[in-house]
Structure formats: structure tokens, C-alpha cells
């Protein structure tokens, strides 16, 4: 049984979670041969580049994205999880908020549930508890459709901490052990630039729960805000921010640019190991 602290303890160094979004191209209606084989190739590439976790998602959580049905989400992710699991024992994370997708994904071989709703959708908490896999609880203000309309906080650090406490309590009541919980402040999920920067600068305060921290900064709009660059021009900023997050206490970084992030973390680890 995978335990997240053993994953981190075994590997010791910060871990890279590679992003694998499965959204079928507009030409094939459901066959998805190209989508599936491309997804598997991409997972293999990210593994070679240094990712120890692959985060598989079948529904976009970007602001304004159209929701996907349960059947469609299952159809996108399950064959890819089965295929990756049949070839490798790498850690697979399922990016979903839907209990049925959690169940079938874990049945197909997924090891971790990554839920941007932090198990707040009906039935999700009970499902995650019954599956007995580690869960990533992410903070989000509001919902993906409306979260960027006008995010407001009196104190973003205090509000994220209160949220973590409430969700950890809910998990423990539902019989999800604390050793199975990963916490994530949810960069860009109902946050303005100032909120994202405050969270990044104060990450270490979230270590107080004793849970590993996961951060997803990769290519997000905060870099567009700061640099005026489009999504495809944000790799260097993303790597820099991932390194800063690790320095500030993150154990897992969710990234698109796996090779570049691996190189940066390798330098950090080499310098750190001299200090042991
Ligand atoms: C370009 C491409 C620009 C993608 C922005 C994006 C997180 C997450 C996402 C996160 C955890 C995203 C599923 C948003 N972000 N899960 N998921 N933490 N745990 N946007 O920060 O990547 S999707």
C-alpha cells in the first residue's frame, strides 16, 4: 500500500509530479487511439525526464472550462491508467473530484487522488476513505467557473490554514489517516497575484500540520501577470518558482516542464547534500 511519507522518505528529495491532461482532439469522436497512445508516450517521456508521479486528468479545471460527464471523464482516463500500470509501477495520481472516477481510477491502478475540491463534492470523502489511498487536499475559493471573478481575502494565509484544518478534521472523521494527506494551497484557484505571491513566500507556515506540501505553479497566470508572457513562454518562470517553493518547504511540485524542473532541483539537492 502506497504511503505518501514513504514515497517522500524513500526518494528523500523533492518529487516531481508531471501533468498529463487527456483531452481528445476534435477529429476523433471517442476512438481516441491517438489520444491514448500519445498520452502513454508523454507519461513515459516525463518518467525518463525525472517525474516520479504522473497526474492524469480528463477534465479541465481552468476558469470557464466546460464540465465533462462522468462517462466521458472515465473514457478518457481509465484506458490510459490501465496502459501505464501494465507497463510500469510508477506512481499514478488521478486528478478528479468525482467519486465514481476515483473508484474506477484506483481500480485501474491509480495510487493517489488529487482533488481540487478537497473531497467536498457529494460522496467524495466517503469514496476516498474506502479506497484507502493518499489524497491531495487543495484549497480553492469558490468554484472553477467563478473563482477568478473577484477573489478576496482578509488574510489569505490565515484563510488557507483554516481551510486545511477544516478538511483535515473532515478526513480524520471519515477515517482517512493524516499520514495519507497531502496539502496544497491551490495557486491560481480563486487567487489574485498578491495572494499567490503571499502563499509562495509563506509556504513554510503550512508545514505545521506535518503533511507534505504539493504545489502547482506551472505556467499559471501569475507569471503572465508578472512578465506579460503567454502560457508557452512561462517555462523558466515556472521552474524558478518551483525551486523557490521547494526551498520554502514543498515536497512535490506539479509541473509541465519536467526536464527543466529536474535540472533545477538537481542543483538544489547537490548543494543541500553538502550541508547534511
Ligand atoms: C497552463 C496550463 C496554465 C494549465 C494554467 C494551467 C493544480 C492541480 C491544476 C494545483 C493540484 C493548471 C489539477 C490548473 N492545478 N492540482 N490541478 N494543484 N493539486 N492550469 O495547483 O494547471 S489544473
217 Cα–ligand 1 center, Å: 7
Residue of 184, 188, 189 best suited for mutating to test ligand 1, as the one with most atoms within 8 Å of CB: 188
Nearest residue by C-alpha to atom 6 in ligand 1: 220
In CATH, which superfamily holds the domain spanning 4-266?
Dihydropteroate synthase-like (3.20.20.20)
Cβ neighbours for 34, distance < 8 A, ≥ 6 positions apart = 25, 28
Which pLDDT score is estimated for 113?
98
- Does the structure show a pLDDT above 80 at 5? no
Q: What is the pLDDT of residues 238-253, one digit of tens each?
A: 999 999 999 999 999 9
273 Cα–ligand 1 center, Å: 30
Q: What is the pLDDT of residues 43-99, one digit of tens each?
A: 999 999 999 999 999 998 777 778 899 999 999 999 999 999 999 999 999 999 999
Which pLDDT score is estimated for 9?
65
- Does the structure show a pLDDT above 80 at 276? no
Rounded to an integer, the average pLDDT of 3-27 is 79
- Closest ligand 1 atom to the C-alpha of 217? 21
Which pLDDT score is estimated for 27?
53
- Closest ligand 1 atom to the C-alpha of 186? 21
Nearest residue by C-alpha to atom 10 in ligand 1: 216
- Does the structure show a pLDDT above 50 at 29? no
Range from 40-49, 145-154, 156-165 carrying the lowest mean pLDDT: 145-154
Residue that wins the pLDDT comparison between 204 and 23: 204
- Does the structure show a pLDDT above 80 at 11? no
Any residues with Cβ below 6 Å from ligand 1, and which? 57, 61-62, 95, 114, 116, 136, 138, 184, 186-187, 214, 216, 219-220, 231, 254
The full 3-state SS of 8-53, as one line of letters, equals: HHHHCCCEEEEEEECCCCCCCCCCCHHHHHHHHHHHHHHHHHCCCE
Residues belonging to the active site = 220, 254
SS3 111: coil
Cβ neighbours for 112, distance < 8 A, ≥ 6 positions apart = 2, 4, 53, 91, 92, 93, 94, 133, 134, 135, 136, 182
Nearest residue by C-alpha to atom 1 in ligand 1: 219
- Does the structure show a pLDDT above 80 at 25? no
- Does the structure show a pLDDT above 60 at 155? yes
Long-range contacts of 167-172 (CB under 8 A, 24+ apart): 167/118, 167/119, 167/120, 167/137, 168/137, 168/209, 168/211, 170/119, 170/125, 171/119, 171/125, 171/128, 171/129, 171/135, 171/137
209 Cα–ligand 1 center, Å: 23
92 Cα–ligand 1 center, Å: 16
How many CA atoms does the CB half-sphere of 44 hold within 13 Å?
13
* Phi, psi torsion values for 254, nearest 5 degrees: -95, 115
216 Cα–ligand 1 center, Å: 6
Q: What is the domain partition of the chain in residue ranges?
A: 4-266
Residue that wins the pLDDT comparison between 32 and 210: 210
Which pLDDT score is estimated for 264?
98
Residue that wins the pLDDT comparison between 117 and 147: 117
Amino acid at each position: 500500500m502506497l504511503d505518501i511519507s514513504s514515497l517522500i522518505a524513500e526518494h528523500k528529495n523533492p518529487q516531481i509530479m508531471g501533468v498529463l491532461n487527456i483531452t481528445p482532439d476534435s477529429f476523433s469522436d471517442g476512438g481516441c487511439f491517438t489520444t491514448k497512445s500519445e498520452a502513454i508516450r508523454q507519461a513515459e517521456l516525463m518518467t525518463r525526464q525525472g517525474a516520479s508521479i504522473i497526474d492524469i486528468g480528463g477534465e479541465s479545471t481552468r476558469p470557464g472550462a466546460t464540465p465533462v460527464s462522468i462517462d466521458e471523464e472515465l473514457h478518457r482516463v481509465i484506458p490510459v491508467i490501465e496502459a501505464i500500470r501494465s507497463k510500469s509501477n510508477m506512481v499514478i495520481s488521478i486528478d478528479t473530484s468525482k467519486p465514481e472516477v476515483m473508484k474506477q481510477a484506483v481500480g485501474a491502478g491509480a495510487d493517489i487522488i488529487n482533488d481540487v475540491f478537497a473531497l467536498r463534492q457529494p460522496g467524495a470523502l466517503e469514496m476516498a476513505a474506502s479506497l484507502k489511498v493518499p489524497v491531495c487536499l487543495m484549497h480553492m475559493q469558490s468554484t472553477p467557473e467563478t473563482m477568478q471573478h473577484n477573489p478576496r481575502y482578509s488574510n489569505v494565509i490565515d484563510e488557507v490554514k483554516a481551510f486545511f484544518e477544516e478538511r483535515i478534521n473532515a478526513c480524520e472523521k471519515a477515517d482517512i489517516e493524516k499520514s495519507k494527506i497531502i496539502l496544497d494551497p491551490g495557486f491560481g484557484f480563486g487567487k489574485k497575484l498578491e495572494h499567490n505571491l503571499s502563499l509562495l513566500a509563506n509556504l513554510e507556515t503550512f508545514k505545521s500540520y506535518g503533511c507534505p506540501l504539493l504545489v502547482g505553479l506551472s505556467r499559471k497566470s501569475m507569471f503572465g501577470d508578472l512578465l506579460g508572457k503567454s502560457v508557452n513562454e512561462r517555462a523558466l518562470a515556472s521552474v524558478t518558482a518551483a525551486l523557490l517553493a521547494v526551498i520554502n518547504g514543498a515536497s512535490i511540485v506539479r509541473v509541465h516542464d519536467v526536464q527543466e524542473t529536474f535540472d533545477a532541483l538537481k542543483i538544489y539537492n547537490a548543494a543541500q547534500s553538502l550541508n547534511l
